[in-house]
């Protein structure tokens, strides 16, 4: 059996309580529509999308995007989906099926979000580089993650909206420092320009695949991979 023949990915986005885990919100994003978005990346485009079924897949992962309301979780996911349809290596092998549950982020959905944490294999934790509050709330998000997510969940911190240079209030160095402090891989992204979007998902997928191998000959180092890939494409350090 080839474990490589197919990888099924599920992704969801979440911002419980319509903002931060502290309930403070970001201030910047007045609207609170933290939908839970589920995406099934289905290999074999000739097959119809198969939701809630893993019979065709050797490996199935669930990935969640979390962070304050308005940091760009939905945009990042949509950007990735479009990239996946357009970009080289994915185009011939991956079809994407989206199901969107727009939960509006009300308090009463918090328990739903917590249930998702428990099942998540990977979490992309986003803040918005133009929104200091969303950055300050990262620690609270990490507390929530430690409380509800699996202990060995793959976690990556993303500073999104890196394209918005004029509005930027959180420096890349600040993100790096925070990530180091908590031992979490980190990079900046932009759903608008596409900066590092595919890399973020690919890095997480590679880490998950590595972990799922029965006999991992060497440990996959997510941050090193990300740094190498950013350098080799000559992109995106600021
Ligand atoms: N400049 C810039 N704007 C972005 C980027 N990503 C998202 N936005 C904008 O930020 C706003 C919020 O984006 P969403 O993706 O809806 O945010 P969200 O995190 O899903 O928010 P909730 O669903 O409320 O939790 C939108 O107006 C987007 O256009 C980005 O990379 N760059
Ligand atoms: Mg959203």
pLDDT tens across 54-63, in order? 455 566 678 8
pLDDT-derived band at 175 (thresholds 50, 70, 90) equals very high
Q: How far is ligand 1, taken at its centre, from the CA of residue 33, in Å?
A: 11
**Residue 107: how many CB atoms within 10 A of its CB?**
10
Measured from the CA of 77, which atom of ligand 1 is nearest? 15
* Residue 163 beta carbon below 6 angstroms from any ligand 1 atom: yes
* Residue 159 beta carbon below 6 angstroms from any ligand 1 atom: no
Q: How far is ligand 2, taken at its centre, from the CA of residue 134, in Å?
A: 14
Residue 76, phi-psi category: left (phi > 0), alpha (psi -120 to 50), beta (remainder): alpha
Cβ-count burial of 111 within 10 angstroms (0-12 exposed, 13-18 middle, 19+ buried)? exposed
* Residue 28 beta carbon below 6 angstroms from any ligand 1 atom: no
Contact 87, 97 (CB under 8 A): no
The Cα 70–Cα 144 span in angstroms is 19
* Residue 37 beta carbon below 6 angstroms from any ligand 1 atom: no
pLDDT-derived band at 211 (thresholds 50, 70, 90) equals confident
* Residue 13 beta carbon below 6 angstroms from any ligand 1 atom: yes
pLDDT-derived band at 109 (thresholds 50, 70, 90) equals low
pLDDT-derived band at 81 (thresholds 50, 70, 90) equals confident
Encoding tokens for residue 171? Answer: 């420096």
What pLDDT is recorded for position 139?
95
Q: How far is ligand 1, taken at its centre, from the CA of residue 218, in Å?
A: 37
Domains of the chain: 60-234 (3.40.50.300)
Question: Which ligand has the minimum distance to the alpha carbon of residue 75?
Answer: 1
Q: How far is ligand 1, taken at its centre, from the CA of residue 72, in Å?
A: 3
pTM: 0.77
Helix axes 138-148, 110-119, angle to 10 degrees: 70
Q: Which of 48, 56, 98 is nearest to 78 (CA)?
A: 98
Checking if the pLDDT of 5 tops 90, the result is no
Contact 158, 63 (CB under 8 A): no
What pLDDT is recorded for position 33?
33
* Residue 196 beta carbon below 6 angstroms from any ligand 1 atom: no
Checking if the pLDDT of 47 tops 70, the result is no
Contact 122, 208 (CB under 8 A): yes
Predicted ipTM beyond 0.90: yes
Checking if the pLDDT of 199 tops 80, the result is yes
The Cα 6–Cα 3 span in angstroms is 7
């Amino acid at each position: 059996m080839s474990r490589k023949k197919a990888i099924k990915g599920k992704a969801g986005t979440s911002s419980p309580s319509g903002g931060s885990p502290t309930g403070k919100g970001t201030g910047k994003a007045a609207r609170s529509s933290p939908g839970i978005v589920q995406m099934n990346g289905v290999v074999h485009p000739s097959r119809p999308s198969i939701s809630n079924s893993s019979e065709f897949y050797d490996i199935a992962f669930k990935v969640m995007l979390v962070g304050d309301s308005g940091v760009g979780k939905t945009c990042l996911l949509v950007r990735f989906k479009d990239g996946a349809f357009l970009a080289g290596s994915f185009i011939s092998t991956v079809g994407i099926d989206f199901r969107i549950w727009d939960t509006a982020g009300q308090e009463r959905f918090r328990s739903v979000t917590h249930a998702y944490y428990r099942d998540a294999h990977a979490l992309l934790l986003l803040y918005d580089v133009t929104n200091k509050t969303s950055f300050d709330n990262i620690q609270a998000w990490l507390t929530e993650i430690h409380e509800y997510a699996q202990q060995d969940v793959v976690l990556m911190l993303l500073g999104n909206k890196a394209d918005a240079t004029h509005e930027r209030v959180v420096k890349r160095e600040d993100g790096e420092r925070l990530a180091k402090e908590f031992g979490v891989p980190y990079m900046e992204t932009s759903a608008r320009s596409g900066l590092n979007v595919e890399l973020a998902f690919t890095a997480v997928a590679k880490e998950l695949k590595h972990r799922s191998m029965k006999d991992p000959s060497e440990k996959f180092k997510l941050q090193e991979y990300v740094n190498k890939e950013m350098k080799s494409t000559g992109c995106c350090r600021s």
